[in-house]
């Protein structure tokens, strides 16, 4: 192992830069050269990269986004695109590649590992925390904290006006962000795609709370449940209460990574380089029982991470 590549792919996540810094510096400390492919898989397909050195990755640890840029690459979804990416690794004598991203990026990493001679290792980094095999992804904690800061402020207005607020958070079709955010802001109702809900039960909860003198409320909704504007109108009509909608949106993707996201980035970065040095490809760095370890990419890509529904019950108990 002499030269490794690094690519950030899919949605950016706070802590990706910390991963770039960690991989580059650990790799250099082991005598490896590092090529940073730019704009996600597109950078491999079009052979666009820059050399990463311990010095030129300075000053990025605390910065959100990714200095390598990222993309969602339609071309990489085709076998021809994967083939071109493998060619770029071969032509540049890259012996190992670190792929930093979410679920889709890990699928891409596995596809590439099937046609490339280079060893491929993944680092899970997405605000959605929906990657199987790891308790946490880089960026998840940062997105949680961004949302919490915003919702705590919304709570002030909800209390002052005796209003119900629906707060839509990201997470694609999964509820990891919504559930954890809901629990940690004390949401009165949490809606996630994994759990069926009924308008009647939401209204009942609001009515029971109202009868207890609790007129304000926060309903945290995962974007994956669908049309939140419609939901707002339906709740307002049925419960005869004032309802407002606030969408946290892309603000959750940016900003400085929290200490926890930085720590994971550093530990996963080190692990990924160690895996490559040990000639272990088609693997992903992961967090299991609070410890950094690794898991086969095939297992990651053939399983679905489960939401801990006991947290939903706890959130309901605590929001009385």
| Residues belonging to the active site | 128
Q: Between 181 and 275, name the residue whose CB sits nearer to ligand F6P.
A: 181
Q: State the minimum distance, in angstroms, from the CB of residue 43 to ligand F6P.
A: 17
Q: State the minimum distance, in angstroms, from the CB of residue 151 to ligand F6P.
A: 16
Q: Between 203 and 247, name the residue whose CB sits nearer to ligand F6P.
A: 247
Q: State the minimum distance, in angstroms, from the CB of residue 67 to ligand F6P.
A: 18
Q: Between 33 and 168, name the residue whose CB sits nearer to ligand F6P.
A: 168
User: What whole-number distance in Å separates Cα of residue 62 and Cα of residue 14?
Assistant: 9
For the chain, what is the HEC assignment? CCEEEEEECCCCCCCHHHHHHHHHHHHHHCCCEEEEECCCHHHHHCCCEEEECCCCCCCCCCCCCCCCCCCCCCHHHCHHHHHHHHHHHHHCCCCEEEEEECHHHHHHHHHHHHHCCCEEEEEEECCCCCCCCCCCCECHHHHHHHHHHHHHHHHHHHHHHCCEEEEEECCCCCCHHHHHHHHHHCCCEEECCCCCCCHHHHHHHHHHHHHCCCCCEEEEEEHHHCCHHHHHHHHHHHHCCCEEEEECHHHHCCCCCCHHHHHHHHHHHHHHHHHHHCCCCCEEEEEECCEEEEEEHHHHHCCCCCCCCHHHHHHHHHCC
Starting at the earlier edge strand, list the strands of the sheet with 243-247.
189-191, 217-222, 164-169, 243-247
Q: Between 73 and 126, name the residue whose CB sits nearer to ligand F6P.
A: 126
Q: Between 205 and 252, name the residue whose CB sits nearer to ligand F6P.
A: 252
Spatial contact of 243 and 157, defined as CB atoms under 8 Å apart: no
Q: State the minimum distance, in angstroms, from the CB of residue 192 to ligand F6P.
A: 13
User: What whole-number distance in Å separates Cα of residue 37 and Cα of residue 155?
Assistant: 43
| Contact positions vs ligand F6P (CB under 6 A) | 11, 72, 102, 126-128, 170-172, 223, 253
Q: State the minimum distance, in angstroms, from the CB of residue 249 to ligand F6P.
A: 9
Angle at 152 between CA 151 and CA 156, to 5 degrees: 110
Q: Between 188 and 223, name the residue whose CB sits nearer to ligand F6P.
A: 223
User: What whole-number distance in Å separates Cα of residue 115 and Cα of residue 82?
Assistant: 8
Q: State the minimum distance, in angstroms, from the CB of residue 129 to ligand F6P.
A: 10
Q: Between 26 and 177, name the residue whose CB sits nearer to ligand F6P.
A: 177
Q: State the minimum distance, in angstroms, from the CB of residue 78 to ligand F6P.
A: 19
């Amino acid at each position: 192992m002499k030269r490794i590549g690094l690519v950030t792919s899919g949605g950016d996540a706070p802590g990706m830069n910390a991963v770039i810094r960690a991989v580059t510096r650990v790799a250099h400390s082991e005598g490896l050269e590092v090529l940073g492919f730019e704009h996600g898989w597109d950078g491999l397909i079009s052979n666009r990269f820059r050399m990463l050195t311990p010095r030129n990755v300075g000053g990025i640890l605390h910065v959100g986004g990714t200095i390598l840029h990222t993309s969602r690459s339609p071309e990489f979804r085709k076998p021809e695109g994967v083939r071109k990416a493998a060619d770029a690794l071969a032509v540049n004598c890259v012996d190992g590649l670190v792929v930093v991203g979410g679920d889709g990026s890990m699928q891409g990493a596995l596809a590439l590992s099937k046609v490339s001679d280079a060893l491929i290792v993944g680092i899970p980094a997405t605000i959605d925390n929906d990657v199987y095999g790891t308790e946490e992804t880089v960026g998840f904690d940062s997105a949680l904290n961004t949302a919490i800061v915003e919702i705590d402020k919304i709570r002030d207005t909800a209390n002052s006006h005796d209003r119900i607020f629906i707060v839509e958070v990201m997470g694609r079709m999964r509820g990891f962000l919504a559930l954890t955010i809901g629990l940690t802001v004390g949401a009165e109702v949490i809606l996630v795609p994994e759990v069926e809900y009924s308008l009647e039960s939401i209204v009942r909860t609001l009515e029971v709370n109202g009868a207890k003198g609790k007129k304000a409320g926060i309903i945290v909704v995962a974007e994956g449940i669908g049309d939140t504007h419609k939901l707002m109108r339906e709740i307002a009509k049925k419960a005869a209460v004032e309802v407002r909608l606030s969408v946290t949106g892309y603000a959750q993707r940016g900003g400085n990574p929290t200490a926890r996201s930085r720590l994971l980035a550093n530990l996963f970065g080190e692990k990924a380089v160690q895996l490559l040095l040990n000639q272990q490809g088609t693997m992903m760095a992961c967090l299991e029982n609070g410890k950094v370890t690794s898991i086969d990419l095939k297992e990651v890509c053939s399983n679905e991470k489960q939401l801990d529904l006991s947290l939903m019950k706890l959130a309901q108990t605590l929001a009385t």
